[in-house]
Amino acid sequence: MKIQSVRGVSDILPENSFLWQYVITKAREVFCQFNYQEIIIPIIEDAKLFNRSLGADSEVVDKQMFIINRQDDTLALRPEGTAGVVRAYLEHSLDRKNPFVKLYYVGPMFRAERPQKGRLRQFNHIGAEVIGSNSPFIDAEIICLASGILESLGISGFGIRLNSLGSREDKLKLSKLLRKLLEPQLKSFCGDCQNRFERNVFRLLDCKNESCQKQVKSLNINPDDYLSQESINHFEVVRKTLDAGKINYQYDPFLVRGLDYYTNTVFEINHPKLGAQDAIGAGGRYNNLVKELGGSEAGAIGFALGVERLMLALEENKDKIEPEKLDLFIAALGEAAVAQAFTLANELRKAGISVEVDYENRRLDKKIARASKLGAKYLGIIGEDELINKNISLKNLETGEQEAVSFEINSIRKVIC
- Contact call for residues 382 and 340 (beta carbons, < 8 A): yes
* Interface residue with ligand HAM, options 51, 53, 58, 82 (CB under 6 A): 82
Nearer to ligand HAM, 118 or 166 (CB): 118
Q: Is 55 in the site for ligand HAM (CB under 6 A)?
A: no
DSSP string for 277-345: S-EEEEEEE-TTHHHHTT-----EEEEEEEHHHHHHHHGGGGGGSPPPPPSEEEEE-SHHHHHHHHHHH
Q: Is 104 in the site for ligand HAM (CB under 6 A)?
A: no
Please count the other Cβ atoms lying within 10 Å of the Cβ belonging to residue 118. Answer: 20
Give the nearest distance from C-beta 39 to ligand HAM in angstroms: 13
Nearer to ligand HAM, 80 or 386 (CB): 80
**Max CA distance (Å), the chain:** 93
Question: Distance from CA of residue 17 to its chain's centroid?
Answer: 14
Q: Is 105 in the site for ligand HAM (CB under 6 A)?
A: no
Residue among 140, 158, 174, 164 nearest 253 (CA): 164
Nearer to ligand HAM, 11 or 72 (CB): 11
Q: Is 284 in the site for ligand HAM (CB under 6 A)?
A: yes
Nearer to ligand HAM, 238 or 368 (CB): 238
Nearer to ligand HAM, 158 or 378 (CB): 158
Q: Is 304 in the site for ligand HAM (CB under 6 A)?
A: yes
CA distance 295 to 289: 9
CA distance 142 to 148: 10
Q: Is 129 in the site for ligand HAM (CB under 6 A)?
A: yes
Give the nearest distance from C-beta 100 to ligand HAM in angstroms: 16
* Interface residue with ligand HAM, options 28, 119, 161, 377 (CB under 6 A): 119
* Interface residue with ligand HAM, options 123, 158, 202, 235 (CB under 6 A): 123
Nearer to ligand HAM, 136 or 283 (CB): 283
Give the nearest distance from C-beta 65 to ligand HAM in angstroms: 12
Give the nearest distance from C-beta 17 to ligand HAM in angstroms: 18
Q: Is 302 in the site for ligand HAM (CB under 6 A)?
A: yes
CA distance 382 to 367: 12
Q: How many residues sit in the footprint of ligand HAM (CB under 6 A)?
A: 24
Residue 222 has, within 13 A of its CA and on its CB side, a CA count of: 2
Q: Is 295 in the site for ligand HAM (CB under 6 A)?
A: no
Q: How do 378-382 and 328-332 pair as beta strands? A: parallel
Nearer to ligand HAM, 82 or 164 (CB): 82
Encoded one letter per residue, x for contact with ligand HAM by CB under 6 A and - for no contact, window 251-270 reads: --------------------
Give the nearest distance from C-beta 80 to ligand HAM in angstroms: 3
Contacts of 144 (CB under 8 A, 6+ apart): 242, 245, 247
Q: Which stretch binds ligand HAM (CB under 6 A): 26-34, 168-176, 302-310, 361-369?
A: 302-310
CA distance 93 to 99: 9
Question: Distance from CA of residue 293 to its chain's centroid?
Answer: 25
Nearer to ligand HAM, 280 or 379 (CB): 280
CA distance 124 to 80: 9
Give the nearest distance from C-beta 129 to ligand HAM in angstroms: 5
Residue among 239, 9, 280 nearest 153 (CA): 280
Helix spans in 59-113 (H): 59, 82-91, 94-97
Q: Is 205 in the site for ligand HAM (CB under 6 A)?
A: no
Q: Find the binding residues for ligand HAM in span 305-324 (CB under 6 A).
A: 306, 308-309
Which region holds residue 390: left if phi is over 0, alpha if psi is between -120 and 50, else beta?
A: left
Nearer to ligand HAM, 120 or 330 (CB): 120
Contacts with ligand HAM, residue ranges (CB under 6 A): 80-82, 111, 113, 118-120, 123, 125, 127, 129, 279-284, 302-304, 306, 308-309
